[in-house]
Amino acid sequence: MEKPNKPMPRINISPFEGTPIDQLPVSYCRWMLMQDFFPREWMEIAKAKVDASPIHNEPIFISRHALDRFSIRFLREWTEYKFTHKAEYDGIATFLVKRAKEAWEKGNDVSKKRHRSDGIVKQYKGIKYVFNQSRRYPEYLELITVM
């Protein structure tokens, strides 16, 4: 006897309330992966959606605060990059994701580690990148801010 198809769970909070998890925007799914309060089943669906995205598949979520801080303090870096790579250059968000990935992989850990909830701070090329790491999926990061 065949099992009936299980209905897709629907998000019960946020502006997307009532939306099936597999129909949420990729950016929202990426944010979900950084939270601890969603059911595991929802997280697996969100992770699959992010992983399958051909464009937004880097496992780094950039907070609005991080993007604002970067654009205010380090816009010259992106501008210089943009003009030296005229044929192919990234928008500022993609540029920041790539820089954050580099900082995570190659940067020096300068975290103070005073509290369990403190972010992970990586210094790379004169900029400090402050990360949060997903507890369920450690390969997923959130860039909280830059200094």
- Confidence at residue 84, expressed as pLDDT on a 0 to 100 scale: 77
Predicted confidence (pLDDT) at residue 91 exceeds the cutoff of 90? no
Q: What are the beta bridge partners of residue 60?
A: 141
Give 57's pLDDT tier (boundaries 50, 70, 90). low
- Confidence at residue 22, expressed as pLDDT on a 0 to 100 scale: 92
Residue with more model confidence, 43 or 118: 43
The crossing angle, in degrees rounded to 10, of helices 75-84 and 92-106 is 100
Q: How much is the CA Rg of the chain, to the nearest whole Å?
A: 18
First to last CA, the chain: 59
Mean pLDDT calculated for residue range 83-106 = 82
Residue with more model confidence, 71 or 58: 71
| 68: its two tokens | 């604002």
Closest CA to 145 of 61, 58, 34, 50: 61
- Confidence at residue 4, expressed as pLDDT on a 0 to 100 scale: 57
Separation CA 145–CA 115 (nearest Å):
18
Separation CA 119–CA 69 (nearest Å):
16
Residue with more model confidence, 120 or 7: 120
Predicted confidence (pLDDT) at residue 1 exceeds the cutoff of 50? no
Residue with more model confidence, 88 or 58: 58
Per-residue exposure over 39-74, b if at least 16 CB sit within 10 Å of its own CB, e if not: eeebbebbbebbeeeeebebbbbbbeebbebbeeeb
Summary mean pLDDT of the chain:
85
CB count, 10 Å around CB of 142?
A: 22
